[in-house]
Amino acid sequence: MERFYFDLYNADHSQEDAEGQLFPSRESAGMEALRILHDVARDEMPGGRHLNIIVKVLDEKRDQIFEASLTLDSAWT
């Protein structure tokens, strides 16, 4: 198992992961980054019309190894 860190960035703030989580592979950590994007979008979208979220995955040496982003726009017509 390897430790991976998930730093979160959006328009309002950034949040660095100080603890990290253990995963069996880089691919598993990448899937976790996608899950984080989904959860943040679900929690934050009702309050706004535009949302841009970035999750950066870092390895045990704190080197970035993966990045996932999500942009959502909503508007009444």
Predicted TM-score (pTM) of the model is: 0.86
Judge whether 26 and 58 are in contact, CB under 8 Å.
Answer: no
Q: Which contiguous run of DSSP H or E holds residue 8?
A: strand 2-10
Domain boundaries, the chain: 2-73
Residues 18-55 pLDDT 10s = 999 999 999 999 999 999 999 988 887 666 678 889 99
pLDDT score of 63: 97
DSSP reduced 3-state for 20: coil
User: Can you tell me the distance from the alpha carbon of 61 to that of 12, in angstroms, rounded to the nearest whole number?
Assistant: 27
pLDDT score of 76: 75
